[in-house]
Structure 1
Amino acid sequence: MSKKYRNTIILISLPLQILVIQFLSTKPNWVEEAYTNKFYKSLSQVLRIVFGAIPVPVGQLLFYSIIAAMLFWLFRQVRQMWLKQVSLKTFFQRVGLAAVGFLSIFYFLFTLMWGLNYHRQPIQEIVDIRPRKVSTPELKTLCRELIRLTNQSRQQLTQQENQPLILPISHDQMLQEAAVGFKVIAQKYSKLMYTYPAVKQVYVPQLMSFFGIGGIYFPFTGEANVNMDPPNFVLPATVCHEMAHQIGFASEDEANFVSYLACRLNPNPAFQYSGNLMAMKYAMNRLVRVDSVAFKQLERSFSPGLQQDLKKNREYWESFQNPIEVVSDGIHNLFLKANDQEEGLESYSMVVELLLAEYRKNRLKY
Structure 2
Amino acid sequence: MKEKLYKQLKIVAFLLFLLIAIWWFGQDAALVERFYSGKLFPVFAIIGQTLVSRVPFSLGDYLYCLFLFVFILFIVNIIRCFFQKNYLKAITHFVQSLIFLLTLIICFYLFWGLNYFRIPLEKRMGLDMNINQSCELLETTVLCIDKANELRRLLRQQDFQRSNQQIFLQAQNLLANSSSLRPYLFSYLPMIKSPITNLHVNYTMVAGYFNPFTQEAQVNTAMPVFSKPFTACHELGHQAGIGFEDEANLVGFILCIESDDLLFRYSAYYNALFMLLAQLAVEDKNAYFNVLKLISRDVLNDAETENAYWKKFDGILNHASSRFYNEYLQLNNQPEGLMRYSRMTKLLIAWKKSSTLKR
Same fold? TM cut 0.5? yes
Report which stretch shifted further, 127-136 or 137-146: 127-136
Aligned equivalent of 1:219, options 209, 212, 225: 212
* Residue 269 (structure 1) shift: 1.2
Does residue 195 of structure 1 match 2:196?
no
Give distance in 1, aligned partners of 2:112 and 2:324. 19
Counterparts in 2 of 1:328 and 1:191: CA distance versus 1, 3 Å: same
Q: Would the aligned equivalents of 1:57 and 1:201 in 2 still touch at CA under 8 Å?
A: yes
State the SS of the aligned residue for 1:204.
Answer: coil
Partner of 1:72: 73
User: Which residue does the alignment assign to 2:230?
Assistant: 237
State the one-letter code of the partner of 1:300: K
* Structure 1 residue matching 2:338: 3-state secondary structure: helix
CA contact (8 A) 1:150 1:273 kept: yes
Q: Report the residue type matching 1:75 in the other structure.
A: V
Which runs of 5 or more residues in structure 2 are unaligned? none
Corresponding residue SS for 1:167: helix
Deviates more, 1:301-310 or 1:63-72: 63-72
Corresponding residue for residue 123 of structure 1: 121
Partner residue in 1 for 2:142 = 144
Superposition pairs of residues 58-207 of structure 1, within 5 angstroms: 58-82=59-83, 84=84, 86-87=86-87, 91=90, 93-94=91-92, 96-132=94-130, 135-158=133-156, 167-186=160-179, 189-192=182-185, 194-207=187-200
SS at match of 1:186: coil
| CA positional deviation for 1:291 | 1.1
* 2:240 alignment counterpart: 247
Report the CA distance between 1:206 and its aligned residue: 2.2
**What amino acid is the match of 1:116?**
L
Q: Relative to 1, partners in 2 of residues 1:104 and 1:221: Cα closer, same or farther, differing over 3 Å?
A: same
Alignment partner, residue 295 of structure 2 = 302
Change (3 A) 1:13 1:352: farther
Q: Is the 8 A contact 1:182 1:193 kept in 2?
A: no
Offset of residue 90 of structure 1? 6.3
The number of aligned residues is 358
| Superposition TM-score, scaled by structure 2 size | 0.92
Partner of 2:353 in structure 1? 360
Residues in 1 aligned to 2:69 and 2:27: alpha-carbon distance in whole angstroms: 38
Aligned Cα root-mean-square deviation (Å): 2.3
The amino acid across from 2:269 in the alignment is N
1:100 is displaced (CA, Å) by 3.0
Q: Report which stretch shifted further, 236-245 or 100-109.
A: 100-109
Contact 2:176/2:190 (CA < 8 Å) preserved in 1?
A: no
Cα distance in structure 2, aligned partners of 1:141 and 1:17: 48
Q: 1:157 to 1:102 in 2, by over 3 A?
A: same
Aligned twin of 1:335: 328
In structure 2, distance between residues paired with 1:340 and 1:224: 21
Cα distance in 1 between the residues matched to 2:215 and 2:287 = 43
Task: Note the C-alpha offset of 1:133.
Answer: 5.3
* SS of aligned partner of 2:209: strand
> Which one of 203, 210, 233 corresponds to residue 210 of structure 1?
203
Report the Cα distance in structure 1 between the residues aligned to 2:46 and 2:260, rounded to whole angstroms: 25
The one-letter code matched in structure 2 to 1:339 is N
Give distance in 2, aligned partners of 1:177 and 1:273.
14
CA distance in 1, matches of 2:86, 2:120: 51
Residue 273 of structure 1 aligns to which amino acid in structure 2?
Y
Q: How has the CA–CA distance of structure 1 residues 130 and 185 changed in structure 2, closer, same or farther, with 3 Å as cutoff?
A: farther
- Counterpart CA distance in 2 for 1:276 and 1:52 is 30
- The answer on 1:291 being equivalent to 2:284 is yes
Partner of 1:350: 343
